[in-house]
Structure 1
Amino acid sequence: MDREKLVQTLADWNFWYRQQFTGVPREYTEEVVKVLEGGLVCDIIGVKRSGKSTIINQAVRKLVEEKGVDPLLTLIVNFEDPRLSEIDSGEKLFELFNTYKEEAGIKGKPYVFLDEVQRVKGWEGFVRSLIDRKEAFIAVSGSTSRVNKGRVKEVLAGRHVSVEVTPLSFKEFLDFKGVKVERPIDLLAKGSEMRSLFSEYLKYGGFPLVVNSNIKESIILQLYDDIISKDVIEDCGIVKADKLRALALFYVSNIGNRISFRRVSRSLQIPLRTVERFTSCIENSMLIHFVKPLSPSLSEMVRGERKVYSVDTGLSNVVGYRLNQNLGSLLENMVYLELKRRYGSGSIYYYRGKNEVDFVIVRDNEVTEAYQVTYTLNDERELKGLKEVLRKKKVDAYVLTFDDKEREEDGVRVLKAWRWALGYTGNE
């Protein structure tokens, strides 16, 4: 690649001579900088358009404005820029890095951010080389979880920490709307506004591009197609794209439901092995997540059906096929995503005994919390699963509703989901 063209392209993305877009501050920025300063590679992973590139810009601005780092000692390389399509191997990454050092005339250890790095074959070898020789601080980002799995995990073993970026939480959604909630009294004073905003959040989700747009559905539809086309079909080399699209649509339309690959295979007339392979590809794009069962029966845990959830409620609501709008499923999906932010996916199960509980949290091999989600609590049967869990072990048990009166019944706390999502549990 021509050196002059390369430097001009890099200058367009960097803070060397001008400010770049940094948007509304998000909680991930501090974590990214801490990982870098610790000398480890920071893997910034997340579904497409969840805000990874903006967080990179926020991290660079923090380094420059708060840490006093020379802007020329920061390098952002965005591999979605078609002008960088020639940088397609680890060897060419070394050429790019050397060109940057020579042309910028830098003296010191630069901070290097490789955005959408999965497009470059062999990038992990380049990163390991620089980290092992302590030649740079490095962060990489990617829209598929393969950025921190498989061979990458082996090559960078002990050298990297992952930061998963999700679409906006409800708290971040309010920040993007310019709505401040700092004290419990704010929730009481703004109750009507909160309910309206929470309803919007459930229906259209938390992708940053969508939140303040007046063409929400069009953006969501295009975003979904981009994820399927680029991060699933293209990334996995799928030939039978129509079957893949049918399977993905099935998953985002069935959030909160138990899934059996064999039944899916029969229903969609797709071979079982193909369902399993396609599902893995869809999971790698971080479009969907699965929750395993926790049961008194070991065989149920091993063979039990998994429940499926979407990375964003807006995707399921706008893209998914539905006979009527199921706000209860959207609410359950939202709760899953918030629990995932708080505890990580490895701590979340659903309970399946004589009765079922939507979510239980397991920490240090002990169940610590249990959650039942329902749009409104008008049937005592919703409490049976929680009471079954409570008979086995004393845990924090909750029913999360859209807007029911908050109260406590037989050791179970009934909370408004929008208040819970903001960190309020009724004890304030």
Structure 2
Amino acid sequence: MLPKSVLKRVIMEAQEGELPRLVRRDLRVDLGVGKAIALVGPRRAGKTFFLYQVMGDLIKKGVERERIVYINFEDERIMPFRREDFSGLLDSYYELYPEMRGKRVYFFLDEVQNTEGWEVAVRRFQEREGIQVFITGSSSKLLSEEISTSLRGRTLLYEIQPFSFLELLRARGIEVGEREIHSSARYRILKYFEEYMRFGGFPEVVMVEDTNTKIRILQEYLRTIYLRDIIDRYSVRNRSALRDLIRYVISHTSQPFTLRRYHRAIKQLYPLGIKTLQRYLDYLQDVRLAFFVEKYGKLKEQMRNPKKVYLIDVGFRHATGFYTSEDLGILAENVVFLRLRERSLENPLLKIYYYKGRREVDFVVVEGKDVKEAIQVSWELDLSREREYEGAVEAAKKLKLDRVLILTLEEEGEENIEGITLEVKPLWKWLLGF
């Protein structure tokens, strides 16, 4: 069992230290429901700094620092942290602050998946001790499904992604309003938009200036956070096959993916069955590296048709050498997906599909059973205007919509075709809420 002197020192050091400067994230959590708050997301997406943000908000509301406990379970001084050490942690806190018994106390347990018996401890802290508990874990170790199973309805689950474009601008010191959109500040916004399209939104990458360093960081993320974590977690034996699958998925961003076609393409090189490949694809989704979007329609249609693949961060395409200037339309579509996914994390009733009829529309947003909007991404509309308009009108009629949004590089305007309003807007403006 860990010495209480060590646990007390860890508690006190966190309370006495200054909270770091941070970029405010747009994610909001509800503290008024009496449940533990679980925060998941890829490594390096900013989970720890979001905890600091919540701590800072509590302090601004008048919560004393002594009522806030932060424990990082990757602190080597408390490793390995065993099941019985949770009792020692609680005892150590109340020995430091006996006057806090019976008061609302906030425990922030960072990277808790590294510890044994954390689920039981969280239940006890939350229910018997009356402590508001926050837990975080990397997607590859503390997945949303596992939290739901382990804590059986005792948690509210939130997920954090890398920076959105709006958060990237905030990190760069640019607060966006109506004036900035129409002033010379617009040129700085467009400069960072180009950077976001190339290197994505991982906070560490955003804050680095050197292009080569950005690429090296992203490559290291792929090697260690994704490839290594998947191999360790799922005991993957054919590492080369997994690595090549990741590269294939990255190279086919925003494109239809058919498992059987991929299986035929690699079966001479890797004698793997389709079920094994499907498991590998599930792993990529579990760790939030890739996402697969289904065709809008009935279940049988969804099963018959290919899914479209998108990445958690568009920077990975650049980091693996697949980026060219011709890729901007592909990356733009992925960026739109990430913004829609961010909205779906805020509203659990939202679902994202693509439309496929005689023509295709990139995204159909559904809330419950109601189709809310259709979005087409056309980076250079002048090169494909007739085709894009035809597809948008077809989808609108089929989906019973009177409006379709078309996102472009810079064109802006509105047209009405056969009673359907086609709203054309620059992608960067849409990402900023304009």
TM-score by length of 2: 0.89
Question: Could you report, residue by residue, the CA deviation over 1:271-296 in whole angstroms, capped at 9, with x for unpaired residues?
Answer: 2122111222221111111111113x
1:168 maps to 163
Question: Are residue 368 (structure 1) and residue 372 (structure 2) matched?
Answer: yes
Q: Which residue identity lines up with residue 423 of structure 1 in the other structure? A: G
What is residue 396 of structure 1 aligned with on the other side? 403
Q: Does 1:182 align with 2:184?
A: no
- Give the aligned partner of residue 194 of structure 1: 189
Q: Is the 8 A contact 2:6 2:78 kept in 1?
A: no
- Runs of at least 4 residues of structure 1 off by over 6 A? none
Q: CA deviation at 1:229?
A: 4.2
Structure 1 Cα separation of the partners of residues 89 and 293 of structure 2: 42
Which residue in the other structure is 2:216 paired with?
218
Question: 2:360 is matched with which residue?
Answer: 356
Q: Secondary structure at the match of 1:49?
A: coil
Q: Which residue of 1 aligns with 2:232?
A: 234
1:257 is aligned to 2:233: no
> What corresponds to 2:23 in structure 1?
24
Alignment correspondent of 2:334: 333
Contact 1:399 1:413 in 2 (8 A): yes
Give the alignment partner of residue 93 of structure 2, picking from 93, 96, 100: 100
Question: Is residue 71 of structure 2 the alignment partner of residue 77 of structure 1?
Answer: yes
Shift of 1:59: 1.0
In structure 2, the CA distance between the partners of 1:130 and 1:317, relative to structure 1 (3 Å rule), is same
Larger mean Cα displacement after TM superposition, 252-261 or 222-231: 222-231
Contact 1:368 1:395 in 2 (8 A): no
Unaligned 5+ segments in structure 2 are: none
- Structure 2 residue identity aligned to 1:60: M
AA partner of residue 79 (structure 1) = F
- Counterpart of 2:427, as a letter, is A
Residue 292 of structure 2: aligned partner: 290
Deviation at 1:320, TM superposition (A): 5.3
The structure-2 alpha-carbon separation of the partners of 1:267 and 1:327, relative to structure 1 and needing over 3 Å to count, comes to: same
2:246 corresponds in structure 1 to 248
Q: How many matched pairs?
A: 414
Name the Cα RMSD after superposition: 2.2
Offset at residue 119 of structure 1 (A): 1.8
Residue 82 to residue 394, structure 1, CA distance change in 2 (3 Å): same
* Alpha-carbon distance in structure 1 between the residues aligned to 2:245 and 2:43: 19
Give the letter aligned to residue 286 of structure 2. N
Over 3 Å counting, the alpha-carbon distance change for 1:18 and 1:360 in structure 2 is: same
Q: Contact (CA 8 Å) 1:287, 1:311: kept in 2 or not?
A: yes
SS of 2:425's partner is strand
Listed as ranges, the matches of 1:39-54 within 5 Å are 39-54=34-49
1:420 is matched with which residue: 413, 426, 430?
A: 430
Structure 1 gaps, min length 5 = none
1:30-83, Cα deviation, whole Å (9 max, x unpaired): x23x32x4311111111111111001011112212x122221221111122233
Match of 2:283, as an amino acid?
Answer: C
Between 40-49 and 103-112, the greater mean CA deviation after superposition: 103-112
Contact 1:90–1:121 (Cα < 8 Å) also in 2: yes
Whole-angstrom CA distance in 2 between matches of 1:285 and 1:342: 19
State the identity as a percent.
30
Structure 1 position 106, deviation (Å):
5.2
Q: Residue 10 of structure 1: CA displacement?
A: 4.0
* Aligned-residue offset at 1:384: 2.5
**Aligned partner of residue 208 in structure 2, secondary structure:** coil
